Structure 1
Amino acid sequence: MRSIVLTKGVPDFSEGAVSFDEDGHLERGKTPTVMNPNDAFALEAALQTKIRHGGHVSGMSMGPPGYADVLEGAMKSVYADDSYLLSDRELAASDTWATAITLSAGLEKYQEEVADVDIVFAGFKTADGETGQTGPQTCWAMDWPIVTHVIALEIDPDERMLRAKRLVEGDVDEIETVEASLPCFVVTDPEFEPTYRKASHRLTHKRLRAETEERAEEHDEHLTTWDHVDLNLDPDYIGLDGSPTIVSSVDPIPKAPSEREATMIDPDDGMGEVLEEMQPYAVEVSD
């Protein structure tokens, strides 16, 4: 069983240091980057597949050279065997469509030069874009079946079939079971939880973790980087030039005003004032 996990670096909004240029484009070189939180569920699904069925897992990302750190983190999470980074300046400022074209080219090159792929896993949306389009658009370019919002899955390697439970949101959330032939795309939902019922699965999990800790220490030796020339991509159809989405403006999100008043108390002299203030709210407790 051979899987690829698509993952992405996103701005670390918690740092409060997101930087944009004068045209409203994100300056990723000046913004701290972390792995997209929703990709963690795709990683868990790929890891479950590897532990249950064996095989090979690769991480793949499109972005600047610094995304190698994101892929290293993905390797540690999913115990991946290797990583692939699609990166050069021609790919900068891609929207979801241009990103999907690039990722599909990376997947096709992987299949031509490395091995056939059984499943591609992706998170259902990114923290910076919130569109949920890249996974399905990449799948459309590959012309494969896709199952979205997956919360559990089983694979029959002999029948080349995937059976998944997916969350359907409506007036009342429902769970439906669907099947798809391999190869296919799986977009995980945040409700996905891996299951390891057999002792052999848990032992395999422990063994793979130990192996990956050693491999991740030398991540550069397991990283392959492809640029747009390697992928045979026309610059007119990738990056900013190949992105039909137009961002008219970007406004920073202001901090919410504080609605609480704070009074500073000297712990040596002011505890009496605190007790006096709280006493009216005290409730007598009986045995």
Structure 2
Amino acid sequence: MHTLTLTKGVPDFREGKVSFDEDGHLERGKTPTVMNPNDAYALNAALQTRVRHGGRVSVMSMGPPGYKEVLREAMATTYADDLYLISDREMAAADTWATAITLSAAIEEMGVPDLVFAGFKTADGETGHTGPQTCWCLDMPVVTHVTALDIDEEEERLRARRLVEGDLSETETVETDLPAFVVVDPEFEPSYRTARHRLTLKDLRETARERAESYEDALTVWDHADINVDPDYIGLDGSPTIVSSVDPIPKPPAEREATMVDPTDAEEMRDVLDAMRPLAGDAGDAAAAGGD
């Protein structure tokens, strides 16, 4: 059983340092990056499949060299065996369609796995297009909004429970042949039902920690020539999406003033309590009545 999880680095909006060029394109090299939060569910699904059915786990990302750290984190999370970074300046400013073409070409180059996992959507674009579009390029069956899954290895079939049109109150169970593409919903929770599963998980965790420390030994980096794609069909040139404008959200300036207090100074701590009591309501009145 060979599984592949697609993951992506997204801007760390918490830092408030998102950089755009004059054409409105995100400058990823100048922007702090973290793993896309929704990819964690896809990684959990891949790990569950590995624990239950064995085999090999791969993780792939398309982006600048800095995405190596995202892949390292993914290796530690899903206990992956190998990593693939698809990185080339020709791929810059790609929309979801150009990204899908690039990823599908890379997947074909590595050898189409039994299962490809993708997150529900990314925190930067939030289109939810890249996974299904990549699947379309690969001509594989796709199951979306997956909340639980299992594999019949003898029949080479996937059985999955999925939300119906994203409705948490309604689910359905579907089956399809392998290889298949799975878009994992944030409602997915991995299940390790037997002692054997839990022991396998423990063993994998210990070996993965060592592997992640030297993750570059398991990392393959490909450019557009390595995956045999025409630069005219990837990156900005291959992106039909037109960005009319971008309005960055500036980080608001800090407006609070801080007063430094020495916790060993009884007088200063008394001033702190006096300031907090009105905010505590009845509890503050009770505390004041009780004395120091």
Aligned counterpart for 2:195 among listed residues 196, 199, 218? 199
Query: Which amino acid is the alignment partner of residue 243 of structure 1?
Result: S
d(CA) in 2 for partners of 1:107 and 1:277? 58
Instruction: Rate the CA distance shift 1:281–1:203 in 2: closer, same or farther, 3 A.
Output: closer
Aligned to 1:16: 16
Aligned to 1:51: 51
d(CA) in 1 for partners of 2:214 and 2:12? 25
d(CA) in 2 for partners of 1:280 and 1:59? 55
- Tell me if 1:176 matches 2:183: no
Aligned to 2:28: 28
d(CA) in 2 for partners of 1:43 and 1:170? 20
Q: How does 1:14-163 map to 2 (within 5 A)?
A: 14-111=14-111, 116-163=112-159
Instruction: Rate the CA distance shift 1:76–1:170 in 2: closer, same or farther, 3 A.
Output: closer
* CA positional deviation for 1:211: 1.0
User: Per-residue displacement from partner, 1:134-166 (whole Å, max 9, x unpaired)?
Assistant: 000000000100000100001101101101000
- Give the alignment's Cα RMSD to 1 decimal: 2.6
* CA positional deviation for 1:202: 0.5
SS of 2:270's equivalent in the other structure is coil
TM-score, L = length of structure 1: 0.90
Instruction: Rate the CA distance shift 1:274–1:5 in 2: closer, same or farther, 3 A.
Output: closer
Instruction: Rate the CA distance shift 1:257–1:196 in 2: closer, same or farther, 3 A.
Output: same
TM-score, L = length of structure 2: 0.89
In structure 2, the gaps of 5 or more residues are 262-267, 287-292
User: Per-residue displacement from partner, 1:181-239 (whole Å, max 9, x unpaired)?
Assistant: 10000000000000001000000001111111111111111111111011111111100
In structure 1, the gaps of 5 or more residues are none
d(CA) in 2 for partners of 1:126 and 1:271? 45
Instruction: Rate the CA distance shift 1:267–1:215 in 2: closer, same or farther, 3 A.
Output: same
Instruction: Rate the CA distance shift 1:278–1:162 in 2: closer, same or farther, 3 A.
Output: closer
Point out 4+ residue stretches in structure 1 off by more than 3 angstroms. Answer: 169-172, 254-258, 260-284
d(CA) in 1 for partners of 2:138 and 2:47? 23
- Tell me if 1:268 matches 2:266: no
Aligned to 1:234: 230
d(CA) in 1 for partners of 2:125 and 2:48? 27
Instruction: Rate the CA distance shift 1:274–1:132 in 2: closer, same or farther, 3 A.
Output: closer
Query: Which amino acid is the alignment partner of residue 72 of structure 1?
Result: R
* CA positional deviation for 1:275: 3.8
> In the alignment, is the contact (CA less than 8 A) between 2:16 and 2:250 conserved in 1?
no
User: Per-residue displacement from partner, 1:71-111 (whole Å, max 9, x unpaired)?
Assistant: 11111100000001111100010000000000000011011
The number of residues matched between the two structures is 281
